[in-house]
Amino acid sequence: MTRTVSGRTGHVVVVGAGLAGLSAALHLLGAGRRVTVVEREALPGGRAGRREVGGYHLDTGPTVLTMPHLADEAFAAVGERLRDRVELLPLHPAYRARFADGGTLDVHTDADAMEAEVERFAGPREAAGYRRLRTWLQRLYAVQMRRFIDANFDSPFGLLTPDLARLAALGGFGRLDARIGRFLTDERLKRVFSFQALYAGVAPARALAAYAVIAYMDTVAGVYFPRGGMHALPRAMAAAAADAGADLRLGQDVTRLERSGSRVTAVVTADERIPCDAVVLTPDLPVAHRLLGRRPRRPLRLRHAPSAVVLHAGTTRTWPQLAHHTLSFGTAWRRTFDELTRTGALMTDPSLLITRPTAGDPGLAPAGRHLHYVLAPCPNTDIGPGAEAWSDLAPRYRDRLLATLERRGLTGIAAAVEAECLVTPADWTAQGHAAGTPFSVAHTFAQTGPFRPRNLVRGTDNAVLAGCGTTPGVGVPTVLISGKLAAARITGTAPKGGGR
């Protein structure tokens, strides 16, 4: 049995209506708590937000939805089903990978289809290696999910279980790229199964092999797209929470918490004071710590993940070589990660994620138009250009990105753009994200699992953290779990589900 908050928990205030906060709210409602959600923005979703630009409906954050059953669990907590609120389109292929040498590989979720594609791309030996890799990813996922990801723990010793030995036997504590190299030799293929380390904020050469679990999620378990865009998910979760009795207060910035001794007694905004029995805090860690009036003691400063520039381009045309998600790899690889995580330089030979949401839902653009979302990883402001530098850099970087896309086959893209929006680390900083990155604290070994900032707060009896800065970590599946784990810290029930 893991620790829980103490005392009364009848009325819980959740600060933040991002995916973590909404997940916590639904799980708390399901456990019979009265729930108030206080969100500073006018819309729910947080990083999974929505912007309207010239008739285009932009998803501001995540585009790759994996493990939708975790969202379904949150709906199930209030007796609902995800599919009754959101239409999910499975993406085939999940990704298309395009390489500097002109090669193209479609990443299929189906084992036979993917094996055939790998064979076409790199021959039968690699196809056999892919089969073995797939089996390994499945075993890795099964070992990790229940015990290490979908679980609250109170100390590293809580992890000393047979699953830890199983994870070690699977090589989970080695390095990701070396482990992938045991299955595949083609350098391009290796990238397809190791670039996901960047989602965890770490270079594949340094990431724990255990993080191949992300490759399991998006190459084996499958990638989905909600009709209406990713923002449809938080919108539906907020609606389900409201229907289940949650009091949603949007456009209310929480400025402070009132305390009595070691308990938080009320959440205070500019307009009101909301008394509470317990509180779930989902803002970035520095904000949560400021609200709590204390920061935890850590021997080392937290290291943040790289950041990203996102170019949203509404265009008069599109390009048939683009799938819903296209990974456009440069020739450089190790150097790219060095730039992103060590030297702080902008990528000299960029690897990009190009998403074309209008491939799944043409309604996200005006009739006959197309939306392209280009994500270019970049260093965070701790090691790279600072927020001020970006106001100067932004227009030049935008031109550079478009020139790269032109060179890589999106002929005429610059001329086809009729509406656009560029988001840089300066914007992430303005939104309050530490180190100018929306990807929070990197998943280095020292910031993983029991070493990541915990969700229970030392010195406060009735506050719990949720969201990407705490356990299990960054990403849609993980923050949905973090909301559930936060709820479990309050209700005392063991979290159910997750590991399918």
- The residues of the shown chain that bind ligand FAD, judged by CB under 6 A, are 15-21, 38-41, 46-48, 61-64, 253-254, 282-283, 287, 308, 310, 438, 467-468, 474-476, 479
Could you give the CA distance from residue 82 to residue 72 in angstroms, rounded to a whole number? 5
CB of 30 to ligand FAD, least distance (A): 18
Say whether 365 sits in a helix, a strand or coil: coil
Strand partners, 264: 259
Say whether 497 sits in a helix, a strand or coil: coil
| H or E segment to which residue 38 belongs | strand 34-38
Q: Do 18 and 45 touch, CB atoms closer than 8 A? A: yes
Nearer to ligand FAD, 318 or 455 (CB): 455
Nearer to ligand FAD, 5 or 48 (CB): 48
CB of 351 to ligand FAD, least distance (A): 15
* Amino acid sitting at position 434: A
CB of 20 to ligand FAD, least distance (A): 3
Q: Do 500 and 484 touch, CB atoms closer than 8 A? A: no
Say whether 44 sits in a helix, a strand or coil: coil
Parallel, antiparallel, or unpaired for β 223-226 and 65-66?
antiparallel
CB of 14 to ligand FAD, least distance (A): 9
Task: Read off the tokens for 197.
Answer: 């380390």
Could you give the CA distance from residue 77 to residue 93 in angstroms, rounded to a whole number? 31
Nearer to ligand FAD, 14 or 180 (CB): 14
CB of 480 to ligand FAD, least distance (A): 9
Could you give the CA distance from residue 126 to residue 189 in angstroms, rounded to a whole number? 9
Residues 6+ apart with CB under 8 A from 401: 309, 311, 350, 352, 374, 376
Burial class (CB in 10 A: 0-12, 13-18, 19+), 114: buried
Nearer to ligand FAD, 449 or 467 (CB): 467
Nearer to ligand FAD, 184 or 441 (CB): 441
CB of 17 to ligand FAD, least distance (A): 5
Enumerate the H helices of 185-333 as residue ranges: 187-194, 212-215, 232-243, 285-292
Nearer to ligand FAD, 183 or 454 (CB): 454
Query: How far from the centroid of its chain's Cα atoms is residue 27's Cα?
Result: 20
Nearer to ligand FAD, 19 or 371 (CB): 19
Query: What's the distance, Cα to Cα, between the start and end of the chain in Å?
Result: 22
CB of 155 to ligand FAD, least distance (A): 24
Nearer to ligand FAD, 174 or 269 (CB): 269
| H or E segment to which residue 486 belongs | helix 476-491
CB of 15 to ligand FAD, least distance (A): 5
Nearer to ligand FAD, 208 or 441 (CB): 441
CB of 219 to ligand FAD, least distance (A): 14
Parallel, antiparallel, or unpaired for β 247-249 and 34-38?
parallel
CB of 21 to ligand FAD, least distance (A): 6
Could you give the CA distance from residue 345 to residue 304 in angstroms, rounded to a whole number? 16
**Residue (of 340, 360, 365) closest to 420 by Cα position:** 365
CB of 116 to ligand FAD, least distance (A): 27
Nearer to ligand FAD, 183 or 193 (CB): 193
Could you give the CA distance from residue 346 to residue 338 in angstroms, rounded to a whole number? 10
Nearer to ligand FAD, 118 or 476 (CB): 476
CA triplet 85, 87, 91: central angle to 5 degrees?
150
